[in-house]
Structure 1
Amino acid sequence: MVMKEELSRVPIWGQALVASGFVAIDRKNREKAIGQLEKAKRMLGKGVSIWISPEGTRSRTGMLAPFKKGGFHVATQLGIPIIPAWIEGAADIVPPDQFRAIYDGTCTVRFGAPIATEGVSPEQMPALMAEVRRAILGLSGRADEVDAEAPRRAA
């Protein structure tokens, strides 16, 4: 899994995450984040599956936020498929801005069909991101709702 770098500094918990193979990303420093994604690429190259939130963070509204490009670049550079996933109920168990979990709740994860990335050029990245976004919205059961935070259109 890819996580924000700040989590790696949480005593005991952070060290356990890093030792477990989590990839820490500095979301405030683009150049550093690109270098840190190289670890994710090496893991994927060895056949290890990883999870990258396309939004770069958890949703605070329940709607999809604009996608970050990092995970899409990793997938297209390696030609590996993206498996869309929708997580329902996680914010009820671990609310945003809280580290402590509420243990009474249900979280459901739905996975979609893999989306091929082999041969996708940088110019085709916006279309790939839109396809993944549509797939995730379809898994949410809210595909017909207006997506208030849809990705910005390429000029």
Structure 2
Amino acid sequence: MTTLPMTAILSDYKPMASFTSPIQLLRGILALLTIPPLTAIVCLSAMTDVRWFRKSKSQAQQFPRAWGRILCRLANIRVRVEGGEQLDQAKPYIFIGNHCSMADIMAFSGYITHDYRWIAKKELFAIPIFGTGMKAVDFISIDRSHGREAVQSLNDAAQRIAEGSSVILFPEGTRSPDGRLQPFKTGAVMLAIKAGVEVVPVGFNGTYQALPKGKLLSRGGEVVLRIGTPLPTKNFKAKDKQELAAILQQRVAELLDECHLPVPSSMEAASISLPN
């Protein structure tokens, strides 16, 4: 139920490193083989639930949540969430996090209970079953091309968020090749400014070690999602996008273990103090 799984994983496959045990190897293979059928089952279940049973897109989020939890358990990825008590379940947020693994999506989908939606490029909504399932649970389509359509798509997404739809974004734009925090792009920041809702920094710790970029099979291990203090964005304007990107990068960095921090030179731009 996310914008991922099989094509993104296979696109940059590299040979798998040795495992600590044959059991973990088997668990990694089982999790990988489970992704396609489980995704189809979850999509069909969500569509059925929304159309014929409870007809609640909010309650149907249990299906992508189950998707994430099942895959994490199969892959021996043990997830712990810290700081979730700071969230107001009645408020919309834009969650902003570092992105270093497909395990980020599995862990966030499975263990963050706040009512939120994923943003997916519009082409994915055309995929049979998968796209229909995303529409059923109200995922947000975004046009990643250039021109008037892309601008309108961004405005529509911002309106959806302002009206109460929380979302999760990865401002680095792609997974980190080494697990370390990369510079934030301003596209996600502009969406936050347009929506005017609070931004919540999230630190994904341990996901790179569990499933590095370019690997097919999980190594397992503990993952910690650290939730930071929500940051208001109403005082930021479009001209402040670089400043806000640097602030958010710093906020996320504060939630990361040392192994995920960028080299010092790349953090210099993020050492901007919050405005009064």
Give the superposition deviation at 1:5.
4.8
Structure 1 residues 26, 119: CA separation in 2 closer, same or farther (over 3 Å shift)?
A: same
Structure with the higher helix share, 1 or 2: 2
CA-based RMSD: 3.2
> Which runs of 5 or more structure 2 residues have no equivalent in the other structure?
1-117, 271-276
Residue among 95, 103, 117 paired with 2:233: 117
- Residue segments in structure 1 that go unaligned for 5+ positions in a row: none
Q: Deviations over 1:26-63 (max 9, x none)?
A: 54x23344333234213212212111111122222212
Distance (Å, rounded) in 1 between the aligned partners of 2:123 and 2:269 = 27
- CA offset at residue 76 of structure 1? 1.3
Q: Which residue of 1 aligns with 2:146?
A: 30
Partner of 2:202: 85
Match of 2:83 in 1: none
Q: Which has the higher contact order (CA 8 A, sep 6+)?
A: 2
Contact kept? 2:158, 2:195, Cα under 8 Å = yes
Number of the residue aligned with 2:134: 17
Contact 1:112 1:135 in 2 (8 A): yes
**Stretch of structure 1 that moved more, 33-42 or 46-55:** 33-42
**Cα 1:59–1:3, aligned 2, differ >3 Å: closer, same or farther?**
farther
Q: CA deviation at 1:147?
A: 4.6
- Give 1:101 shift: 6.6
Structure with greater strand percent? 2
- Please give the alpha-carbon distance, in whole angstroms, between the structure 2 residues aligned to 1:84 and 1:59: 17
Q: C-alpha distance in 1, partners of 2:133/2:159? A: 20
Contact 1:4 1:24 in 2 (8 A): yes
Deviations 1:63-115 (A, max 9, x none): 222322222112212321111111123345554356x6748443321111112
Query: 1:82–1:16: structure 2 CA closer, same or farther, 3 Å change rule?
Result: same
2:151 aligned partner, one-letter code: I
* Cα 1:61/1:117, change in 2 over 3 Å: same
Q: CA deviation at 1:22?
A: 2.3
| Contact map agreement 1:34 1:70 (CA 8 A) in 2 | no
Deviation, 1:126, is 1.4
Amino acid at match of 2:194: Q
- Normalising by the residue count of structure 2, what TM-score does the alignment of the two structures yield? 0.45
Q: Which structure is larger by alpha-carbon Rg, 1 or 2?
A: 2
Q: Distance in 2 between matches of 1:95 and 1:6?
A: 26
